[in-house]
Amino acid sequence: MTAQTLRVGVVGVGLMGADHAERLAGRTANATLVAVSDPDQARAGELAERFGVRAVGDPLDLIADPEVDAVVLASPGFVHEPQLLACIEHGKPVLCEKPMTMDAESSIRVLEAERTGGRPLIQVGFMRRFDPEYAQLKEIVDSGRLGRPLLLHNVHRNKAVPDTFLSEMIVRDSLVHEVDVARFVFGEEITEITVLSPAATSVAPAGTIDPQVAIFRMASGALVTSEVFVRNQIGYEVRCEVTCERGTVVAGRPSVQVYTTSAGGDGGGGLWGGVIPEDFRDRFSRAYDLEVQAWVDASLRGEVVGPTSWDGYAATAVCTAGIESLATGRPVPVELVDPAFGA
Ligand code: ISE
């Protein structure tokens, strides 16, 4: 690390990791991409050649590399625990894509290691906090001019996912964003989660519960509803509406790119409509840019901004309870360790 340039390595160069690599290589100030790692050596090699950086076989070698100052973990959640522990061991700031880990117990082990290491190093990839619309929604709620927030309604739809994206992944990898949005907007913990199973779409693999409807109860008694549907066959639709005592505010309502055309109207008339993004990289491109830039600048200052390892743990604990509720359709309480644990 020079005074003003952070040398970053990216672990995992699937859809998200490749997007972050491109972001770091081309449009993030005060940072430079220096290495990538992925089990798919061909993919890592192609990306390394494209950006003129090194491809490192073992992700733990990339993390330990003295030429790497900071790490973006865009690997699957089931390998995050050892990779996060390695970042802590080597004192490397890390932007860890969600989920932080796969369950509450492993998240607590990461929290304990980070606290033992003596300084915060982990920012978790809940990028919606950096989305201008979600950030403005939070500012409006926090201003108090609409009164106390009472309800929150989320819609989270993907166009398509692989057949391996089964019911539990919908909770752990998709609904996890709504868990963080609820904690972010209300500024409090979720005390109970219920995950309901509507009749599934015909395009879901047999036995896969898609869509799902989740209900969170917040510590204040407020309720949050979330529809998560990852095979809507249309596009990427994510929005959030807060109902307060004296008004409502929405983030993500289609409000731009509305167009009219004469093409295709069966009755000879025109058509009007808007554009639905293909996937999360389109819809949240600006949010990811702001998130990664904030992470780089904070890392250069020796700080962590945005979602911390505690936020990662709390979201994982809620999703762990959510997976339990998914099996029964009954409410499951969320019990967190004392935030001061190990202090
Ligand atoms: C994906 O991993 C993301 O994080 C996207 O934001 C989310 O919309 C999608 O459902 C996840 O699979």
Q: What per-residue confidence (pLDDT) applies to 256?
A: 63
Output the CA 170–ligand 1 centroid distance in Å.
9
What pLDDT shows up at residue 261?
82
Contacts 24+ apart (CB under 8 A), 300-304: 300/1, 300/4, 300/6, 300/30, 302/119, 303/120, 304/93, 304/120, 304/121, 304/122, 304/123
- 290-300: average pLDDT: 98
Q: Strand, helix or coil at 257?
A: coil
State whether the beta carbon of 230 lies less than 6 angstroms from ligand 1: yes
Are 103 and 14 part of one and the same domain? yes
Residue 180 lies in a domain: yes
The residue whose C-alpha atom lies closest to atom 7 belonging to ligand 1 is 174
172 with 204, same domain?
yes
* CATH number for the domain harbouring residue 27: 3.40.50.720
DSSP secondary structure code for residue 172 in this structure: I
**Cβ neighbours of residue 330 closer than 8 Å, sequence gap 6 or more:** 194
Q: Are residues 52 and 67 located together in one domain of the fold?
A: yes
> Which residues fall within 8 angstroms of residue 298, CB to CB, at 6 or more apart?
93, 123, 304, 305
- Looking at the structure, do residues 66 and 194 belong to the same domain, yes or no? no
- pTM for this structure? 0.95
Range of the domain at 164: 128-279+316-342
Based on the domain organization, do 202 and 327 belong to the same domain? yes
**Distance from the first to the final alpha carbon of the chain:** 30
Q: For the residues 276-283, what does the mean pLDDT come to?
A: 93
**At residue 113, does pLDDT exceed 60?**
yes
State mean pLDDT over 41-68: 98
Q: State in Å: Cα 271 to ligand 1 middle.
A: 31
Are 121 and 135 part of one and the same domain? no
* Predicted pLDDT at 257: 66
CA–CA distance, 10 with 36 (Å, rounded to integer): 5
In this structure, the answer to whether residues 45 and 117 fall within a common structural domain is: yes
* Percentage of residues of the chain with pLDDT beyond 70: 96
- CATH number, domain at 208? 3.30.360.10
pLDDT at 163: 97
Atom number of ligand 1 nearest to Cα 97: 4
Same domain, 105 and 217: no
The pLDDT value given to residue 343? 58
Q: In ligand 1, which atom is closest to the CA atom of 174?
A: 10
The answer on pLDDT for 264 being more than 80 is: no
Task: Give domain status of residue 311, yes or no.
Answer: no
| Residue 48, ligand 1, Cβ within 6 A | no
Residue 2 pLDDT > 60: no
> pLDDT digit string (tens) for 141-157?
999 999 999 999 999 99
Tokens representing residue 235 in the block: 């596009």
pLDDT at 334 exceeding the cut of 60: yes
**Is residue 87 located within the same domain as residue 38?**
yes
Answer whether 174 contacts ligand 1 (Cβ < 6 A).
yes
Same domain, 102 and 67: yes
Percent of the chain with pLDDT over 90: 90
Residues 136 and 249 in one domain: yes
Domain count, the chain: 2
Same-domain pairing of 92 and 236: no
Residues with Cβ within 8 Å of residue 3, at least 6 apart in sequence: none
Residue 1 lies in a domain: no
- Whether 122 has a pLDDT exceeding 70, the answer reads yes
Whether residue 152 lies inside any domain: the answer is yes
